[in-house]
């Protein structure tokens, strides 16, 4: 492996990732999770629904930011 190969591997880390469909894949997941949390709240599990909604929000935020 030459220095040129090492540089290409290093440079690949700084390129922008290719976006698939401008992030529209996250929307159905977010709607589904919000609907599931609403169902939990509607069935009387308010605390569980709010915890799930908060946790899902953090996961979706991290997913959207690319982590």
Please give the residue that has the higher pLDDT: either 8 or 28: 28
Q: Determine the average pLDDT of the residues in 42-47.
A: 92
Task: Tell me the three state secondary structure of residue 16.
Answer: coil
Q: What is the pTM of this model?
A: 0.56
pLDDT of residue 51: 92
pLDDT of residue 43: 93
Tokens of 37: 């949390």
Query: Cα(65)–Cα(50) distance, rounded to whole angstroms?
Result: 23
Task: Supply the mean pLDDT for the chain.
Answer: 79
**Could you tell me how many residues make up the chain?**
67
Task: Tell me the three state secondary structure of residue 9.
Answer: helix
Q: Determine the average pLDDT of the residues in 25-50.
A: 87
């Amino acid at each position: 492996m030459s220095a040129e190969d090492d540089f290409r591997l290093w440079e690949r880390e700084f390129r922008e990732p290719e976006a698939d469909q401008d992030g529209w894949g996250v929307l159905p997941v977010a709607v589904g999770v919000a609907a599931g949390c609403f169902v939990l709240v509607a069935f009387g599990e308010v605390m569980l629904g709010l915890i799930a909604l908060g946790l899902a929000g953090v996961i979706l935020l991290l997913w959207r930011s690319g982590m």
